[in-house]
Amino acid sequence: MAHKITDECINCGACESECPVNAISESGDFRVINADLCTDCGNCVTVCPVEAILAP
């Protein structure tokens, strides 16, 4: 199961650059995680300034 970005996302991009498998991309006003690529490493969770990413 992949991590999930909530509506609290401020679209800062901090998470995208930390993803080792490039599973995070911009979609409109926020970021999304591609569940097929996400390896649940947790790097994105630790860098999110607004705690908008939930672990599975």
Looking up residue 11, the CATH number of its domain turns out to be 3.30.70.20
- Segment 17-40 shows an average pLDDT of 96
Given a cut of 90, whether residue 35 has pLDDT beyond it is: yes
Q: What are phi and psi of 50, to 5 degrees?
A: -115, 10
What percentage of residues in the chain have a pLDDT greater than 70?
A: 100
Q: Into how many domains does the chain fold? A: 1
- Segment 6-17 shows an average pLDDT of 96
Instruction: Say if residues 2 and 38 touch (Cβ distance below 8 Å).
Output: yes
Cβ within 8 Å of residue 45, ≥6 positions away: 3, 53, 55
Structure tokens at 49: 């300034």
Instruction: Say if residues 48 and 14 touch (Cβ distance below 8 Å).
Output: yes
- Predicted local distance difference test score (pLDDT) of residue 3: 96
- Predicted local distance difference test score (pLDDT) of residue 22: 97
What residues does 31 pair with on adjacent strands?
26
**Full residue range of the structural domain in which residue 46 is found:** 4-54
pTM of the model: 0.91
